[in-house]
Structure 1
Amino acid sequence: MTNKTILAFDLYGTLLSTHSIATTLAKHYGQDMAESIATLWRRYQIEYTFRLNSMKQYQDFEEVTRKSLLHTLAEYRLSMEINDIEEVMQAYDSLSTFKDVVPALEELRNLDNVECVVFSNGTKKMITNSVNGSSQLSDCSNVFSQLVSIDHIRSFKPAPEVYKYLAHCVRMAGRESEVWLVSGNPFDVVGARSVGLNAAWVDRSSQGWQDRLGPEPTKIIHGLGELVDMFKQ
């Protein structure tokens, strides 16, 4: 049992920018269309996970990511060769970090009162490839004591069981308030708060909390540097 506070970092949309896949898409469709595809792709990727949860069905996140890309291309009436689809999917394993991520992780590495883990909808393969394959994030891979994938329990955020699984993995079952989710995704924050975890919402665009469905974040931060300040002793 640890006496450290657990910081569980969401991966996609928190540490890694899903919009950065537009760089690869731009090789095929130009920058403007690539950015539109990246935005809609992310929307359908999340929507697919919600729909699967509602139907009590499961397809892993790699399959969800691929199918939501194909959905997006079909909506724009675009086509892509199989080899090019594979190239884009491989590029999804090396997304760019947000600019505040690496400096914050380097500082968190030196704090004795926190333990950092990655907690993601992604498969273990996707998470491992992303943490080690991102040119920026790979240098900080040893900050994380665990890479926690929901794939083991075959459900997606924000289902309550995924956060309970996280607490189990970090040896905090029954001590959920000592676990902090760190996420840029409001649905993720609401899910974590609903089962007793603390949650820091990363509001990089300074839009303010707009979600009206469930509990509000424990803390709103505008970059991960503010998270470091919260736990410096």
Structure 2
Amino acid sequence: MPSSYFRLSHHPRSTSPHHGRCPKGDFVMADFARVKALAFDYYGTIADKQALAAEIDERFPGQGAAFAKLWFAQIQRYCFQVGQMERHITWDELTIAGFNFACADMGLEVPHVLRDQWIKADTRLPVYPEVPEALARLATRFGLYVLSMATPWMIEKSQANAGIAEYFKDVISAEPHKVYKPGRAAYEVGQREIGVAVEELGFVSGNAFDVIGAANFGYPTIWVRRYGQALDELGQEPDLVVKNLKEMAEALGT
């Protein structure tokens, strides 16, 4: 078993005898024995959001990566804020608001035509290189779903463009229900629409806040830690940490 993926301690809901921090390479298959389906976050987990940086660089040389990162982070922040304020602002509106914030913060002037072009890039972003093969393997054992906050049609078009739509049973978004992650109601949407028990639905994300939110709801969780980023210290930990979906497929025995 490759040493690059490892199992962390369970979050407080667990009563597993294996509770506690485990060294790299120590993975307990029984943790996922009851899992029947996997729900994936999409952007930053399957689709490479940072790939937009190269396109932005063509207009603003050397600033694409910083702009793309700030834009995506600001959308997440707005989701948190509107959730706490118990208001609903659509995903499309939050995307534009996040874009405008990034422009103002970095002192960039972007025409609306170009802004709309970059927003629509979400439908043509590349998936990470290992994704198609890994999804094909995982689909032999699990029902695969997307559980996102983004507009469903954008994800479906992105899947079609990337040639991975066949592996997913459904695209589920919390946005039409007027809730956003990491609120519990957003994760409840997935369980309700997929129709399995909490412990039967594994949640997969490349975003630490998302993994923590799903763990807090009660899902078995897998964190795709592509960039070696730190985990937020909020008392919740993923059940499995991997560098990419290929390692995840190997760890789950597919």
TM-score norm. by structure 2 comes to 0.82
Aligned to 2:66: 36
Deviation at 1:69, TM superposition (A): 0.8
> Whole-Å Cα distance in 2 between the matches of residues 168 and 99 of structure 1?
31
Of 140, 157, 165 in structure 2, the residue corresponding to residue 129 of structure 1 is: 157
> Whole-Å Cα distance in 2 between the matches of residues 164 and 91 of structure 1?
29
- Is the CA contact (8 Å cut-off) linking 1:24 and 1:91 kept in structure 2? no
Higher relative contact order (CA 8 A, sep 6+): 2
Aligned to 2:166: 142
Of 189, 193, 196 in structure 1, the residue corresponding to residue 215 of structure 2 is: 193
> Whole-Å Cα distance in 2 between the matches of residues 192 and 129 of structure 1?
25
Extract unaligned runs of 5+ from structure 1.
none
Extract unaligned runs of 5+ from structure 2.
1-33
- Cα deviation digits, residues 185-229 of structure 1 (max 9, x gap): 11111111112111000111234x532113210111111112212
Of 207, 210, 215 in structure 1, the residue corresponding to residue 231 of structure 2 is: 210
Q: Which amino acid aligns with 1:216?
A: E
> Whole-Å Cα distance in 2 between the matches of residues 204 and 75 of structure 1?
27
> Whole-Å Cα distance in 2 between the matches of residues 182 and 101 of structure 1?
13
Q: Which amino acid aligns with 2:122?
A: Y
The answer to whether 1:7 aligns with 2:24 is no
Cα 1:80/1:28, change in 2 over 3 Å = same
Q: Which has the higher helix share?
A: 1
Q: Which amino acid aligns with 1:156?
A: Y
Deviation at 1:92, TM superposition (A): 2.2
Number of residue-to-residue matches in the alignment: 221
Deviation at 1:231, TM superposition (A): 3.0
The answer to whether 1:75 aligns with 2:68 is no
SS in 2 for 1:182: strand
Deviation at 1:60, TM superposition (A): 1.7
SS in 2 for 1:161: helix
Q: Which amino acid aligns with 2:134?
A: A
- Cα deviation digits, residues 28-58 of structure 1 (max 9, x gap): 112x111111111111111111111111111
RMSD over equivalenced CA pairs, Å: 1.6
